[in-house]
Amino acid sequence: MIKLPEIDFFHEDLKSGTLVWNQVKSQVHKALVEYGCFKASFDKISIHLKKSIFEVSQELFDLPLQTKLKNISTRPLHGYIGQCPQIPLYESLCIDGANIHNKAEKFTQTLWPQGKSSFCKTIQSYSEQLSKLDQIVNRMILESLGMEKYMDEHMNSTNYLLRLMKYKAPQSSETEMGMNVHTDRSNLTILYQNQVNGLQILTKDGQWINVDPTPDTFIVMIGDPLHAWTNGRLHAPYHRVIMRGKEARYSIGFFSIPKAGHIIKAPKELVDEDHSLLFKPFVHAEYLDFCYRAFNNTKEGMGCESILKTYYGV
Ligand SMILES: O=C(O)CCC(=O)C(=O)O
Ligand SMILES: [Fe+2]
């Protein structure tokens, strides 16, 4: 049985240049080349916060549909998603810039006009803490490719997005497919789930493996834009969610996403005789539009698995 690598980010002195940093960095690089993802233990999110994020998430999904629909976004697939015939078990709401206080507050006010400070505080501190893990992993990635000089440009061209997701348990006649096969539209995704498993990852040699994280671990995964930016050095795994059992699954996705107008283009240092350019430069907003169209047009739901190759392959 293949098991995803587990990497420990506990160390107090996890600073670039230290011995422990370099050790963790090489584990990160190896896992992302081989699997495109790994399990991460990260202690900056307290047990209390881990518990609260699911409590507030449940309260959010318990709101009437009319209220949840108020979460609209100018970017496709960034508002409310639910009641989709392709993926009937799935529901989600996105919070753009959830690590920034006034954005978290604006989202909260839209759904709870009378105020709900516990919700706002929880999503903001969860996002703020997880952005630290995102930054550590991004720095390790760039350093391990010798591309650290692009760190500021790389980080300044991304936004954070928090997506709260619920998958209800399937009735006996319903599909078990919670979310169909796809690769992510983010540079990096950090997932956290309640005790209900369901996430599966396709390995490079074509085997579906269950990702069954413990309450202590987050899943860190590469998405299409970073796969393209690294000119294929890092793998972006196909994944899906299969719902078995009788309990609802809540999961929290924390995404670092290129800004709408940002052009994703592999740096010249990563293109050479042994690594010819895999993808033409592309604007993230246009790529997201293709994903949105695929989402609406396919029976299978997400269905944007080959967007990168179809539209931008060299
Ligand atoms: O719920 C999960 O664990 C996976 C969600 C996911 O793949 C996504 O939001 O892109
Ligand atoms: Fe995903």
199 Cβ closer than 6 Å to some ligand 1 atom = yes
pLDDT at 216 over 80: yes
Atom of ligand 1 nearest to the CA of 198: 3
Mean pLDDT, the chain, whole residue set: 92
Give one DSSP letter per residue of 127-171, joined into a string. Answer: HHHHHHHHHHHHHHHHHHTT-GGGHHHHHHTEEEEEEEEEEPPPP
Contact (Cβ atoms closer than 8 angstroms) between residue 314 and residue 276: yes
Which ligand is the nearest neighbour of the Cα of 237? 2
pLDDT band of residue 213 (cuts 50, 70, 90) is confident
If you ran DSSP here, which 8-state letter would residue 39 be given? E
- pLDDT value at position 27? 98
For the CA of 253, the nearest atom of ligand 1: 9
pLDDT, one tens digit per residue, over 244-283 is 989 999 999 999 999 989 999 999 999 999 999 999 999 9
pLDDT digits (tens, 9 = 90+) for 162-186: 999 999 999 888 889 999 888 999 9
12-24 pLDDT per residue, tens:
779 999 999 999 9
pLDDT band at 305 (very low <50, low <70, confident <90, very high): low
Q: Mean per-residue pLDDT for 56-75?
A: 92
Residue of 61, 91, 179 best suited for mutating to test ligand 1, as the one with most atoms within 8 Å of CB = 179
What are the structure tokens assigned to 307, written together?
């967007």
Closest CA to 194 of 45, 2, 57, 84: 57
User: Is residue 165 lining ligand 1, measured as CB closer than 6 Å?
Assistant: yes
Q: What pLDDT, on the 0 to 100 scale, is given for residue 175?
A: 86
For ligand 1, mutation pick of 166, 189, 243 (most atoms within 8 Å of CB): 189
The tokens for 221 are 């995964």
Distance CA 65, CA 116 (A): 18
Residue 253 CA to ligand 1 center (angstroms) comes to: 6
- Please report the sign of the dihedral spanned by the C-alpha atoms of residue 177, residue 301, residue 287, residue 82: negative
- Give the count of beta carbons closer than 10 Å to the beta carbon of residue 217: 21
d(Cα 314, Cα 311) in Å, to the nearest integer? 9
Give the mean model confidence (pLDDT) for residues 222-228. 97
Provide the pLDDT for residue 299. 57
Query: In the predicted model, is pLDDT for residue 298 greater than 70?
Result: no
> And the tokens for 204?
């490079």
Give me the pLDDT at residue 201, please. 96
- Tens of pLDDT, residue by residue over 81-107, are 998 888 899 999 999 998 898 999 999
Decide: 251 in ligand 1 pocket, CB within 6 A: yes
pTM for the model stands at 0.96
For the segment 25-37, what is each residue's pLDDT rounded down to a tens digit?
999 999 999 999 9
First to last CA, the chain: 36
Rounded to 5°, angle at Cα 257 from 145 and 33:
30
The ipTM (two decimal places) reads 0.99
Confidence (pLDDT) at 301: 47
Q: Is the separation of the CB atoms in 281 and 193 below 8 Å? A: no
Cβ 239 under 6 angstroms from ligand 1: yes
Name the residue among 221, 231, 305 with its Cα closest to residue 265: 231
CA pair distance 78, 4, nearest whole angstrom: 29
Residues of the chain above pLDDT 90, percent: 79
Q: What angle do CA 55, 57, 58 make, to 5 degrees?
A: 65
Closest ligand, as measured to the CA of 77: 1
pLDDT at 247: 95
Helix (DSSP H) and strand (DSSP E) numbers for the chain: 9, 14
Answer whether 179 contacts ligand 1 (Cβ < 6 A): yes
Residue bearing the bigger pLDDT, 85 or 143? 143
CA 202/CA 36 separation, integer angstroms: 10
Kindly report, residue by residue over 33-58, the tens digit of the pLDDT. Answer: 999 999 999 988 999 999 999 999 99
Residue 184: CB within 6 Å of ligand 1? Answer: yes
Q: How far is the CA of 183 from the centre of ligand 2 (A)?
A: 6
Nearest ligand, measured from the Cα of 219: 1
- On whether the CB atoms of residues 216 and 222 are closer than 8 A, the answer is no
The CA distance from 53 to 165, in Å, is 11
- Is 173 strand, coil or helix? coil
Token couple for 77: 């697939």
Three-state secondary-structure class, residue 59: helix
Instruction: Please provide residue 193's backbone torsions phi and psi, each rounded to the nearest 5 degrees.
Output: -135, 160
Query: Which band of pLDDT confidence, cut at 50, 70 and 90, is reported for residue 74?
Result: confident
- Evaluate the CA torsion angle 287, 135, 60, 111 in order and state its sign: negative
Give the three-class secondary structure for 244. coil
